[in-house]
Amino acid sequence: MADDAEVEQAAVAAGDGAQPPALSKSARKKLQKQERQAERKAARKAAEKERRRADVDRRRREWEEALAAAPSDEARAEMVAARRETRRERVGRRAEERGARAERLRRAAEGAGQKVVLDLEFADLMRPNEIHSLTQQIMYCYAVNGRSANPAHLWLTGCSGEMATHLQRIPGYDKWIIEKAAKPYLEAFEDRKENLVYLTADAETVLDDLDMSKIYIIGGLVDRNRWKGVTLKKAAEQGIQSAKLPIGNYLKMSSSQVLTVNQVFEIMLKFVETRDWKTAFFHVIPQRKRGEAEAGDDEAKVSLEDNDDAAEGAGDGNLSEEYLEKLSHDEVDDDGDEELEDEETDMSNKRQCVRRQDAGPGDQDHSGAVAEATPAGDATPQAEQAKESNDGVED
């Protein structure tokens, strides 16, 4: 706690340009570690951006070379038309996938899904960057729930104040198929209090199975372990059941069993799918957190030192923007094709204009093939894809 306060004061002073206060040895080490993590994160982000840019450039070159190598205008026209048709089909498939996802979520809300509540009543205990991290984890929960074949009936309770403000900033949040309640879960489920089970690593009861009649609560708290035991205390004071995931039965822990919100939620989804805790743990908990498996033992050691590490896409609790964008927009390996759409058409038309200027009267009809293959009306798939990208996390 003292080290955290010192590091935070030093960070504030550095941001203001003031002389930072003298730090203890342990606080200096912690600050240096945070700075190294920030540098690595920035480097990863820059490298990923460059990789994506290079990938777009490569595919652009390949397409230009393929067009240039086409034996005739008719062949080029066929290539452009085929590419447009492929995109049109892809947009159609994505629309079908969105519809199927929405239907699965609706069925889950009607009773087919395991009820899971994200308790968002802890905003007053978190710093702004921690609320931001929690918002990202909630985005991940919704996205992975939509992709699941057996989604949960997901609730957000205590969704008010600063927490609600952050969530409202998520593109497409108003379209989420999810239960949103400003009131706490005790009021939302006042007639089913006996079915409430708060999942907390501090509980004594170990969860052996998931009961469809129960409503499992995950504490929405990102605090780097400053508020130890707060969720168990809350459950005890409210007189509701508490339990913890059976991590210790399958993984040998070197530290705390506290997980992030998205990790706990995805473990539950995976267990519903497989009915196997070990499979769920090994599927969700990152390899770097599990450590090396012991010789002659199927179990593995894990080190989960704080509850602000993401299962995928980040190492400090902040899921990478690129990863969240992929989840939100259902992107696949053809990212960047949209940027090539106009360029390939423009390039074909420019070639056509040059040929028309050089062609004789008898060649005009022959050269019109490309123009006929790329009418303005074929821009519809582009518009659909642009809308799809701008809608954020969709239904």
Amino acid at 283: H
Domain chopping of the chain, boundaries: 111-291
Contact residues for 354 (Cβ-Cβ < 8 A; gap 6+): none
Dist CA 137 CA 311 (whole Å): 10
Contact residues for 232 (Cβ-Cβ < 8 A; gap 6+): 198, 200, 202, 203, 242
Dist CA 184 CA 38 (whole Å): 35
- Residues 184/158, Cβ–Cβ less than 8 Å: yes
- Say whether pLDDT at 80 is over 90: yes
279 token code pair:
């499979």
195 token code pair:
């079915």
What value does the mean pLDDT of the chain take?
76
Report residue 371's pLDDT band, with 50, 70 and 90 as the boundaries: very low
- Say whether pLDDT at 118 is over 60: yes
Report residue 22's pLDDT band, with 50, 70 and 90 as the boundaries: confident
Contact residues for 51 (Cβ-Cβ < 8 A; gap 6+): none
CATH of 111-291, one of 3.40.430.10, 1.10.10.60, 3.40.1020.10, 3.40.1280.30: 3.40.1280.30
Dist CA 66 CA 74 (whole Å): 14
**DSSP letter (8 states) at residue 110:** I
Share of the chain above pLDDT 90, in %: 54
- Say whether pLDDT at 389 is over 50: no
Most confident of 41-50, 223-232, 265-274, 353-362: 265-274
Give the pLDDT confidence score for residue 8 in this predicted structure: 57
Q: How far are the Cα atoms of 302, 347, 352, 365, 366 from residue 360, in angstroms, in the given order?
A: 75, 22, 13, 10, 11
37 token code pair:
């993590």
SS3 call for 35:
helix
Give the pLDDT confidence score for residue 283 in this predicted structure: 92
149 token code pair:
């074949």
Residue range 23-45: mean pLDDT, rounded:
87
